[in-house]
Structure 1
Amino acid sequence: MAWDPETTDSQDWDERGLRLVAETTAGTWIVDHVHNFDHTVAALVPPVFGSDARIFHPASTIDDDPVRWADAAAANGTIAHPVMEWGSIVGGWRISGQEGLWQDAPATGSLPAATTRALADILRRFTRTRDHCWFAHWEGSGFITPPSNCSRLPMPNRRMVLFSGSIDLADTRFGANRWFPTGMSPHVWWPDDHAWCVATDIDLMTTYLGASADCVDAVLADGALEALPARPDQGITWDSDTINPLPSSPSGL
């Protein structure tokens, strides 16, 4: 697939070619299997796959170069591991940057476009329906204005609007335009054959994947991604890192 970020990253979902779906039954299997917001991976990705992975959104330098969490941990004398949290490895949630290391913290609630493209290039090899995929976006993100009469996918605590298109559109930035090209990624996406499922919660700096063992192994081995194995019962909250020192709550409470 020849991605063209110069022309596509600043286009909203309709310009990219995604289709708004009136009925959300294509996502019923996800709603039926995810846990009821119990703050585990299984609350985001249906625990029906052979394996799971956690994909870390990169931080970035002042020149917009990606910074891996493992490198940030090494520089701060903390430990990189599958349940690490950004605030724990850099020493706090209110740190605005570390000179010579990173300038901007990992994106919250959105899988960056370049990371999405790298992930999608792997996932397309592990589905028979790459041209028929589903993309759900939380209605309260502020990046979409769906019609009031459009059905919502009733994910726990996160009602979502559903779109369809090929896997080539996985990097769509909802709400993007020429003045604000960042936009926001889909929050849940999967192929029609249910071969895998990707979930990015609005409050998290990481994305979770449920898939076959072979698919997850391919993601873990790809140098363009920073990913580690995950478990359905793994915690996803800011205080889930029990190995590194626990900083103050990101809410300040």
Structure 2
Amino acid sequence: MELITDVRRADWLVRRLQASGTVAGTVGGGFDGYARVLHPLAAFREDRSVLDEHGDAPVLETSTWRWSDVAARTGRTVDAGVSWSTLSASRDDDVLFDDGWRVEPPAEGWLDPRLLAALTSHLSASTATPLDLVAAVWDGWGDLSGGSTLVAGWQDGTPDATERARAEAEVARLRTAHQAALDAVRRALAVPRLHLTHREHLLVRTTVADWADPAWTERAEIADGVPLAHTPQLLWPEDHAWVLATEIDCDSTLVAGTRRLVDAILRDHRFETFEVDPLSALR
């Protein structure tokens, strides 16, 4: 992976974007089909009869749930236009069930790398340029914006004067190193940005194979040692055969492309997915 300095590589997509806040306003109009892939849910079975000093219950079992698993318990319906807040009666809070299961809200702006890897088989088969992809990554993430914060504190009792002096010296050293690291990120990422929907994006040259291994987050770099640990907000091949989008504030991922591609994704039981209208609102 490497940074792209010529943001004109996104001009074709910008021209196809339609009304803001819609499917086609995110992945563009003019494709044969559009699929919405719901992000999976982290679920935990707890023993709530025992609470620790923080009020947390021990976890007995973990699992990955689908939205339909929650719907089966709440009596609601999962369809192409489902919203998490309607399904769960809560947007931000965990959903608690009487049998001890706790379900976290779906991740926003992040597609599980395992699902992204699963999608690559369909994406690769649907482009003539699998070795030439463009990824657009929001530059507002703390590790990419040079805006992360260092917090230091003292644990276990009150320090005496000598300990306080040593601690303050160590904090000063850490702050200097932290600021140097932030400055290095800003310099490494000092390239033109793609402006979309009131957000700035870095463009990255990549391939389908880069995303085929879920462990890409452990090794991906985009510039001078700057790691990439975020799902791309947009991904498309040079032949413009399809677009994948994981919008920052959305708990699902969109794929626009050929009829064959969308049908293949809809039939793949690894995904909880629905076909959507390009003019429908984002969820």
Q: 195-204 or 68-77: which moved more?
A: 68-77
Q: Give unmatched runs, 5+ long, in structure 1.
A: 1-17, 238-253
2:269 matched residue in structure 1: 223
Return the alpha-carbon distance in structure 1 between the equivalents of residues 114 and 85 of structure 2: 23
Amino acid paired to 2:230: M
C-alpha contact 1:55 1:206 (8 A) present in aligned 2: yes
TM-aligned CA deviation for residue 35 of structure 1? 2.4
Return the alpha-carbon distance in structure 1 between the equivalents of residues 73 and 118 of structure 2: 26
Superposed counterparts of 1:57-206, under 5 Å: 57-62=39-44, 63-99=61-97, 100-145=100-145, 147=188, 149-170=190-211, 172-173=216-217, 183-206=229-252
C-alpha contact 1:143 1:174 (8 A) present in aligned 2: no
1:50 matched residue in structure 2: 32
Percent identity at matched positions?
27
Return the alpha-carbon distance in structure 2 between the equivalents of residues 149 and 183 of structure 1: 19
TM-aligned CA deviation for residue 70 of structure 1? 1.4
Return the alpha-carbon distance in structure 2 between the equivalents of residues 39 and 165 of structure 1: 27
Distance 1:44 1:78, change over 3 A: same
Return the alpha-carbon distance in structure 2 between the equivalents of residues 45 and 174 of structure 1: 28
Residues 131-157 of structure 1: per-residue CA shift (max 9 Å, x gap)? 111111011132424546401112221
The structure whose Rg is larger is 2
Distance 1:191 1:77, change over 3 A: same
C-alpha contact 1:176 1:184 (8 A) present in aligned 2: no
TM-aligned CA deviation for residue 175 of structure 1? 10
TM-score, with structure 1 as normaliser: 0.78
TM-aligned CA deviation for residue 98 of structure 1? 2.5
2:21 matched residue in structure 1: 39
Distance 1:174 1:93, change over 3 A: farther
C-alpha contact 1:56 1:205 (8 A) present in aligned 2: yes
C-alpha contact 1:59 1:66 (8 A) present in aligned 2: yes
Where 2:142 maps in the other structure, the secondary structure is coil
Distance 1:190 1:176, change over 3 A: closer
TM-score, with structure 2 as normaliser: 0.70
Return the alpha-carbon distance in structure 2 between the equivalents of residues 176 and 86 of structure 1: 31
TM-aligned CA deviation for residue 85 of structure 1? 0.6
Where 2:201 maps in the other structure, the secondary structure is strand
C-alpha contact 1:31 1:154 (8 A) present in aligned 2: no
C-alpha contact 2:92 2:105 (8 A) present in aligned 1: no
Distance 1:27 1:174, change over 3 A: farther
Return the alpha-carbon distance in structure 1 between the equivalents of residues 143 and 218 of structure 2: 6
More strand as a share of residues: 2
TM-aligned CA deviation for residue 102 of structure 1? 4.5
Amino acid paired to 2:131: D
Over the aligned positions, Cα root-mean-square deviation in angstroms equals 2.4
Distance 1:175 1:202, change over 3 A: farther
